[in-house]
Amino acid sequence: MSDHEHELTRRDFLRRAVRAGIAVSMAGGASYLLYDPVGPGPISWEEGLRLPDFSVPPVAGKTIAIVKGADRKKSLNRALELLGGVERFVGRGKRVLIKPNVAFASPPSLGATTHPDLLAELIRLCFRAGAREVGVLDNPINDPGSCFLLSGIERAARENNAGLIYPGHELFRAVSLPGGRLIRNWPFLYEPLARSDVLIGVAPLKSHHRSGASMTMKNWYGLLGGRRNIFHQDIHTIIAELAALVRPSLVILDGITIMATNGPTGGSLADLQAGNTLIASCDAVAADTWGCSLLGLQPGDLPFLEQARALGAGTTDVAALKPLVAETE
Amino acid sequence: MNRKKRPLYFPHQPGRTERRISVFILLVLAGIAILVLWRQSSFDLTRYGVIGSSAAKSGSQSVNSVRSSFRLPEIRSLAPPGYEPAGKGERYDADNLFEKIDGKAPLYLEAGFRNLVAQRFVDRQEEGRWIEVLAYDMGLVTNAFSVYSRQMRPDAVLIALPDFSCRSANALFMVRGGIYLEIIGSKGDEKTRSALLIIGRRIGRGGGERPPIPELTLFRGDRLVAGSEKLYLKNAFGYSGWSNVYTAKYKSGSAELTVYFSRNSSAQEAKKSADAYIAFLKGDGGKELPAGANPPGLAMISYLGSIEAVFVINDFVAGVHEAEDQQRALKISALLAENLKRRKGDE
């Protein structure tokens, strides 16, 4: 025999055969375990993350307040007074989370973001009611640092001892809306909500190139992560599903200055009109239904309203809620 | 001890056939891996509802398209006196334009958007006073004009900067070559407007020698409402068959009428286009009205409470949209027809 040959003994053969057999079995076994002849099925909702329900117990006749006036501070105070006082929503020792619209790096004067004066007053009211802590968060479309700074939101939060929550990766978790078509295992700014007791949305009233209007329901878009722009193709459904997913304690729709054209970014002072109206509501669908009239729209012009109603997110029959209407000086 | 017994992991040297088969299998596996990587790197975003860079191919691509040789100056050099650039500036393409302008992105993407360059300038002396320049490269003058004209604010003030420009209290909007510009100030006062004009003049330098879009000269006469011209690249008046349609407003007594025209590749195509629109209106409940003979072939349709006038002059389809008064529509149609005939004679 040459140097490259050797005798294959029975022992060698058996060893090789066993090793080969083990390797084949492992490969085959792994394939069998990984094989899925059926394919992905519907997600089991019981396994998915659920958002806390922040809604407050309903009080008949105190669901929605509409205040006319040009002063944000006065209008906010009057609206909350009509609904039973801020204490109805913010209890002593509670952790409050406020979600303004800080989507763009735009100054308050251009109306594309929540006005910092309104946010500042709301923070003060929360602390006056005994809140343990107040956080402000959003996942802006532009760079978060620029957005919070240029919109004046950062200053409003800092000067009133509220914490500003930047949308770090670690705060997002996959969330699903049971029965939802779009919000299925989608990254969501979950962690701050999970740690809070009260959730308040504060949104400016704007026209929107895609959806027709951007109000309190559209405001929750800023809690989505990932490549959320793909939802623009089905904008009405995503707004409706967000309304069904997020159950806030209160929403505030700022129609004191309205972006009547070229929303959601605007850019020109000529896009703005005086609306002189502020709406505070426990029902975001009702708030937006009433609010669209300030843009000269009918509820039927905004499909997401009816879709949200159909999902059980609220009512479009504002009259049935007996809205409380007042005026400030 | 059998010295010839070797460890099991040195069984034997593979033969030639064995080597060839092994190399072949490895090449096949490598080919599969390369194929998978290649396919994964070029997936079609549109399947997921995201408009990808293919959007750059949209916009006007017809007889109406107008190109320009204009190149925007380096954006950081546009800082007006007393201002300095804030940060490096931003750049966006069709895939991430939404990260800057969110829901307005489709307006640009559908009009041939290529890229956006944005730069903010801050006032060195005054905190909170800044100007942001957004330069949208739309590829063609016609594309840029379309987005400019469709976003014209009702109270915009026209200013004499090439190629098209207007301002509001805090912003300047311009078309220069294939670039649409929004120059936005954080404050709406005279100081801001002066700075905006300085930037606008720098951008407009060297322009204005000839009409950037020759078709717009077809809208003329003292009844034309200055600055009312628009270009719809698609779906003009909500009709999917109307592309590259120019519109403008004309005064008629106390009313303003919207007139329009679109240039086709031939007179036959223009006739086909007009007939299709008339059929669409009639199919949707429109009723034909008696029309005069000027211009020849004029059709007038009563549609949804207003009047649509449609006619063909050479390779143009033209008419009046949503007129309230038939007589006024007739007069303006005749006026527009004269302008269009004269254009053909000029050529």
Which tokens belong to A112? 């594309």
Q: Where would I find the H helices in A35-140?
A: 72-82, 116-128
Which tokens belong to A323? 């809205």
pLDDT of A15 reads: 93
Minimum-distance CB partner of A209 among B48, B107, B128: B107
Are the beta carbons of B161 and B200 closer than 8 angstroms? yes
Whole-prediction pTM value? 0.79
pLDDT of A47 reads: 54
Three-state secondary-structure class, residue B137: strand
Digit-coded pLDDT (tens) for A268-298: 999 999 999 999 999 999 999 999 999 999 9
pLDDT > 70 in chain A, percent: 95
Establish if A226 touches chain B: CB-CB under 8 angstroms. no
CA distances (Å), origin A151, targets A17, B95, B166, B196? 72, 26, 26, 21
pLDDT of B61 reads: 44
Q: Is the dihedral of CA A120, A124, A129, A135 positive or negative?
A: positive
- A271/B153 touch (CB, cutoff 8 Å), yes or no: yes
Q: Which residues pair with B260 in a beta bridge?
A: B247, B319
A119 vs B107, higher pLDDT: A119
- A100 φ, ψ (degrees, to nearest 5): -85, 175
- B128/A264 touch (CB, cutoff 8 Å), yes or no: no
> How far does B169 lie from chain A, in Å, by closest CA?
6
**What residues of A are in contact with residue B4 (Cβ under 8 Å)?**
1, 5-7
Establish if A104 touches chain B: CB-CB under 8 angstroms. yes
DSSP state of A70: S
Pick the residue from chain B with its C-alpha nearest to A267.
B184
Q: Would you give the distance in Å from CA B323 to the centre of its chain? A: 27
Q: Average pLDDT by consecutive 10-residue portion of chain B (347 residues)? A: 53 84 95 90 54 41 59 88 92 91 89 95 94 95 94 88 92 94 95 95 81 88 90 90 93 90 93 94 91 84 93 94 91 89 61
Establish if A161 touches chain B: CB-CB under 8 angstroms. no
- A232/B103 touch (CB, cutoff 8 Å), yes or no: yes
Dihedral of the alpha carbons of A158, A160, A162, A163, in degrees to the nearest 10: 10
Q: Would you give the distance in Å from CA A139 to the centre of its chain? A: 9
Establish if A20 touches chain B: CB-CB under 8 angstroms. no
Establish if A15 touches chain B: CB-CB under 8 angstroms. yes
CA distances (Å), origin B120, targets A310, B170, B174, B341? 44, 14, 17, 47
The chain B residues in contact with chain A (CB within 8 A) are: 2, 4-6, 8, 10-13, 48-50, 98-107, 128, 151, 153-156, 168-171, 173, 182, 184, 186-188
B63 vs A208, higher pLDDT: A208
Q: Span A20-27, mean pLDDT? A: 94
Q: Is the dihedral of CA A298, A302, A306, A311 positive or negative?
A: negative
- B153/A1 touch (CB, cutoff 8 Å), yes or no: no
DSSP state of A49: B
In single-letter form, the type of residue at position A19 comes to R
Q: Is the dihedral of CA A223, B55, B317, B140 positive or negative?
A: positive
Minimum-distance CB partner of A142 among B10, B99, B155: B99
Are the beta carbons of A15 and B8 closer than 8 angstroms? yes
The whole-angstrom separation of Cα A150 and Cα A137 is: 15
- B10/A6 touch (CB, cutoff 8 Å), yes or no: yes
The b/e string for A253-289 (b: 16+ C-beta within 10 A; e otherwise) is bbbbbbbbbbbbbbbbbbbbbebbbbbbbbbbbbbbb
Those residues with Cβ within 8 angstroms of residue B209's Cβ, 6 or more apart along the chain or in another chain? none
- B8/A141 touch (CB, cutoff 8 Å), yes or no: no
Are the beta carbons of A172 and A186 closer than 8 angstroms? no
Those residues with Cβ within 8 angstroms of residue A53's Cβ, 6 or more apart along the chain or in another chain? A247
**What residues of B are in contact with residue A239 (Cβ under 8 Å)?**
none
Are the beta carbons of B270 and B317 closer than 8 angstroms? yes
pLDDT of A44 reads: 53
The whole-angstrom separation of Cα B99 and Cα B58 is: 20
- B192 φ, ψ (degrees, to nearest 5): -65, -45
ipTM of the predicted structure? 0.75
Count of Cβ atoms closer than 10 Å to residue B331 Cβ: 19
**What residues of A are in contact with residue B93 (Cβ under 8 Å)?**
none
Nearest alpha carbon to residue A165 among A189, A198, A194: A189
Minimum-distance CB partner of B171 among A104, A233, A268: A268
Three-state secondary-structure class, residue B152: coil
- B50/A235 touch (CB, cutoff 8 Å), yes or no: no
Minimum-distance CB partner of B5 among A7, A234, A265: A7
A40 vs A5, higher pLDDT: A40
Residue A177 in this model has a pLDDT that exceeds 70: yes
> How far does A229 lie from chain B, in Å, by closest CA?
7
Pick the residue from chain B with its C-alpha nearest to A4.
B12
Establish if A16 touches chain B: CB-CB under 8 angstroms. yes
Q: Span A77-104, mean pLDDT? A: 97
> How far does B336 lie from chain A, in Å, by closest CA?
31
Q: Which residues pair with A277 in a beta bridge?
A: A68, A255
